[in-house]
Structure 1
């Protein structure tokens, strides 16, 4: 039976029109500038002996970790111009593809819709999509080349992210053609190089390739004895970081004691442990923590140097109180250290403490004293002891548990019992006898199930 052409039209045409309109929306390819991606490659170790072959992996991995503080790149004028031109070319190409697809969709509507009235309506919508796509292409062509070249570095920082495989601990293989690798892996910055032995030293050559420029923007060489590769890595950090960022910087590292102190930098809350500054100047920082006195300092930054800022907060005075017991004379231990006998004074402190009171013939008492507790003088009434040791008290509780377990078992119907329960009965009977039970009927019933 032949298919109804109207049913074909109902399902096909809306889908085709939706695709055409989606491809032809003006400005669809004009997105904000995406984050740049930096990748690290294994060093070429062909000229390095097998004994030191691990340097080819060790150096890029440790440098990648050392430069993890970089979150943005400030592209120069040439890089910005080339990135803009590349973006414009991509916009034009996308617009051309949209025009071709919208025309294809229009032609498909013309040959697939059999109903004349519906065909005319659908063609009108498809023609509108073609017109919109052609307008987008015309606008892209008209604006291409009109953007004025950047006369200075782009004032806007561009986010810089690590290549996903690097984040998982994988390195790119040895790079021969950096431009081709950048295009294939879709990375914007590529760190690659080689390692070799020279006169008993390990020599490492590194390069930073910038895809937008189509060339290496930085090259560096350093040497180190085989047992001091860490020193060479440290020497690479600043020049390579400045090349990746695009400008000189000052790295400020904050350390505070206690480590959970709250920091403010230039009056604003700061949650990290390090910050980048790109202009010389004087800045202020404060640190505060519960139970400690607030501390503040000023630090001068100059691009090209790292600045450590350390805080060691002093504990603030806490309110003390007088502690006594009824009866008096109880031994006082603070955090396990003897502190005399009651009545006595407890000094304030900026940290929590555990106070234990003990006296022969009375139960021990424990108190937890926290910072900033505004405690009034306290008198603790000691409770006479029952004369039993902790082990005796614990054993008695265990016996009571087993006894209650035995009575629970006795309450179960016979049909719920299994071979395993008979052993439980016997053990319960033993516990019952050991705990002083003398009811022979209970013992007999437990032992026989």
Structure 2
């Protein structure tokens, strides 16, 4: 039996998922293009295509925003509509970035792009400061429990690289983010167009002594100790080879969503509550004595239990209770409204069950974090509170404890369309700025 390499041993090639957000024309796509270009992550043919597109649009120089704004409608309007994903690497780290839309109409796309992010870069135009959409994106980052937030004060070249302008914007944003419970904000003054403090340090802002955007992305700690999180193993597939060598083999394959699993550990199977002991853990064809998230493994148990796809294997000491009632904060993604009484499918990890939306107690206004009680329905881009009843018990964690097992999707059973993205439990880590609260909307925890 062997032990797999620890997260610390693989940190040199660790992966950082991050998203960019900001108001329209704040320069998100230009920042991403500059980041790719100056870190030499752009292929020659891609750069030639962007140079040609820039000339066709009458630009005097290469428009790096075109590296990410690939849709025809985006190029015509000069804005980002869809979420543009890009993959690149430096000698220190691998990256997956999501360039998300800035327009309020596409808030749902920002939610999609940031849902798996470990860091969010929120851009602010130095001429305009913190605006309504800046506060909205900060609230979404807090809602999604993004652990690291970078405030990139862009277009510093248009305010003469003035330090007081940067200090005022950074102070205002940090105070607002702190009220939302955002655990960490790093403010960086940049000019994405000129390249100041994106990959290389700015010679014109010598008053700033912090890291560039890329330096921060390469060094921000993202490797968590798996032992800090409760172990959760959603069963994806049951392996029954039925071979002469192993006639009774029954393995449970899947990806560890969080935490650590060990051979000899007593576990529970949710939602049935049956108990057993981990007899063997197989990873990449080898038997190991310990495994952790996000490893893909196969477990065998000491007892022959009725386990199938969608069941959740958890340590007996830290088991989550299974229930048919779920209260959650959701972001509605579809153009069809979500209404009380709607019959949906709820997908949680590898399990999909029938469900009904019993109630929509509140809708959140992200502009000022006020609460609108009993809205009657949620339309596209709305974020609200819902009460759901499922046909079968589910072991759902609070989203604050686990983004992997505290999240779910609501799906239209008629055509399979994704309707809503949900986060179980409370929404913000800390109280929002003081707002009047309607008695009918109590229970938001905002």
TM over 0.5: no
TM-score, length of structure 1 as denominator length: 0.20
| Structure whose alpha-carbon radius of gyration is higher | 1
TM-score, length of structure 2 as denominator length: 0.20
Return the structure number with greater strand share. 2
Return the structure number with greater helix share. 1
